[in-house]
Structure 1
Amino acid sequence: MKIGFVGLGSMGSAMAPHLVAAGKPLSVHNRTKAKADKLVADGAVFAETPGDAARGEVVITMLSDDAAVEETVFGKDGILEALPKGSTHISMSTISVALSERLAAAHAEAGQEFVSAPVFGRPDAAAAGKLFIVAAGPAEVLDLCQSIFETLGQRTFFFGEEPAKANLVKLSGNFLIASTIESLAEAFALVGKAGIDPHAYLELLTETLFSAPVYKTYGGLIADERYTPPGFTAKLGHKDVGLALDAAEDLQVPMGMASLISERFLTLMAAGAGDLDWSALGKLAKRDAGDDKPLSDG
């Protein structure tokens, strides 16, 4: 199976090496060609355009937002015009429900297959092949993609034949993570102002009430005040919560907490801290409690 991979950012550059290591013929494309050098040295082929990466049986996109996916798929030398009939586009990006629906319709009209398969996990999980994959699309196409999912992640969860359902599940999950980060941020600000050791507090939380990885990961980042380098930026957190709110409006589902968290991320962005890890909500809560360190200081 000849595979193309488009998007070698922090996630894509951690995912694509697994496909090379598994012996799958791989073409890679990224706007910054240098990011592909290690993959090419290990046996991948560099594709000059997204379309050049999409001439095999499968092309995977792992891009930052709707605009990047739209340009890559619908733009000049894009995936839509190059992907052979019957071949599959697997979108692993976190994108809007509306764009996922548009992609499904466009690929169907072109005689191509489309699968949404966004992931849960930070770059370190991607590098370890430990991502959780949320997939939706035609059953027979998902079966063909299973070996790819097994190469990239530790488990795949299936949500039916409509690709956009996977995107909605992913957005709901990112909303829950952001809600957890905001709750942790406020709790750490509260006990921290009373002089309680944040690491002792984290140990209590994660050894008793909240043992899930999300509490350990983001509680640890907040306790350490370690917001750089980002695994996922506040700017991207704002984008994803906004996409969840867009979907909620279409479905007429009020999400008051999501609206609040969107404003919290926007506050970080307005202060020049949008490129910090999204756990920098902890820094914002501490600032609100009287800390005078600049928010943009990672």
Structure 2
Amino acid sequence: MAEKIAFLGLGSMGAAMAANLLKAGFPLTVYNRTASKAEPLRQQGATVAATPAEAVREATVVFTMVTDDKALEELTIGSEGFLPALPQGAIHASCSTVAPDTNRRLAEAHQQHGSTLVASPVFGKPDVAQAGKLWVGSSGPTEARQRLEPLQAAFGQGTYAFGDDAGAASVAKLCGNFLLGTVIEGMAEALTLAEKAGLDRVAFYEMLTSTLFNNPIYKSYGKLIAERHYQPVGAPPAIIRKDMNLVVQEAYKQGVPMPFANIIRDQLTATVALNKQDVDWASFAERVAQGAGL
């Protein structure tokens, strides 16, 4: 069937994903709490709704991409949430980075309503989203996941299924973000030690990422750390600190010691406390440099 799509949440990631759905030819209705952020999409052919309920009223699929668990729950089942207006049989693709249990709770609410939630978190920065090259995780009922795949292909280069549990893809997303944090911390410590010992940190970074660590993650985040210049902003420190809180909470729930996760969260907490906002979250690497007197 021809899908009618609603996209709710038009930050830097959501706007790019929505634009790629439009480019792929899908009819699209969009909503954002700050209405001005929807104007570029209106100019590209999207219909702009005044409320979440209006946005989803005729939708067969609704994508959400918002800041945190509270925002997602308010948008979905809050006093002005969209769920009561969502047609039965529709799919909610939950793209936000949230706790696994949040998507599980919302999946239960959808089941009672006669709709379905599929966790659909994405990996990649805004420029990757604009290029339609995100990596997508997916978990939820099989039929719903399969229906989403042609839509996810509009903004992603690959979708990976993690089964029927609505929380599973969220676990994968948190684990992935944790690993990115370990790359940043590890590169920061290595480059700081190299510089303190008299090496040129940029030259050392170039050697590392041309040999042992020749991959996009070490190259992109490593460049920021080597040059100690943390722009453009892929995600600000406060957003990823939230993610690391979720990692630590899930680790506690599952009984998994994760000392590195606590280190990364503490580094991000210090960065946020210093009111560092207009910088990429990789700027927490500066806490390592400062601790070494650089």
TM over 0.5: yes
2:93 equivalent in structure 1: 90
1:100 equivalent in structure 2: 103
Which amino acid in the other structure matches residue 156 of structure 1? T
Which amino acid in the other structure matches residue 59 of structure 1? V
TM normalised by structure 1 equals 0.95
2-side partners of 1:275 and 1:84: how far apart? 40
How far is 1:199 from its partner? Answer: 2.2
Q: What is the identity percentage for the equivalent residue pairs of Structure 1 and Structure 2? A: 44
Provide the aligned C-alpha RMSD in A. Answer: 1.2
Q: Map of 1:236-255 to 2, 5 A cutoff? A: 236-255=239-258
Q: Map of 1:213-232 to 2, 5 A cutoff? A: 213-232=216-235
CA contact (8 A) 1:178 1:237 kept: no
CA contact (8 A) 1:235 1:275 kept: no
How far is 1:283 from its partner? Answer: 1.5
With 92-101 and 227-236 compared, the bigger mean Cα shift is at 227-236
How far is 1:6 from its partner? Answer: 0.6
With 160-169 and 70-79 compared, the bigger mean Cα shift is at 70-79
1:130 equivalent in structure 2: 133
How far is 1:228 from its partner? Answer: 3.0
Moved over 3 A (4+): none
2:37 equivalent in structure 1: 35
1-side partners of 2:255 and 2:10: how far apart? 36
Deviations 1:107-155 (A, max 9, x none): 1111111100101100111000000000011111111111111111000
2:5 equivalent in structure 1: 3
3-state SS of the aligned residue for 2:193? helix
1:176 equivalent in structure 2: 179
Asked if residue 63 in structure 1 is aligned to residue 66 in structure 2, the reply is yes
Which amino acid in the other structure matches residue 38 of structure 1? P
1-side partners of 2:40 and 2:279: how far apart? 26
1-side partners of 2:31 and 2:264: how far apart? 34
TM normalised by structure 2 equals 0.96
With 41-50 and 75-84 compared, the bigger mean Cα shift is at 75-84
2-side partners of 1:275 and 1:97: how far apart? 29
Which amino acid in the other structure matches residue 184 of structure 2? I
2:117 equivalent in structure 1: 114
2-side partners of 1:91 and 1:9: how far apart? 15
2-side partners of 1:110 and 1:258: how far apart? 37
How far is 1:274 from its partner? Answer: 4.8
1:264 equivalent in structure 2: 267
How far is 1:202 from its partner? Answer: 1.4
1:26 equivalent in structure 2: 28
2-side partners of 1:229 and 1:275: how far apart? 9
3-state SS of the aligned residue for 1:11? helix
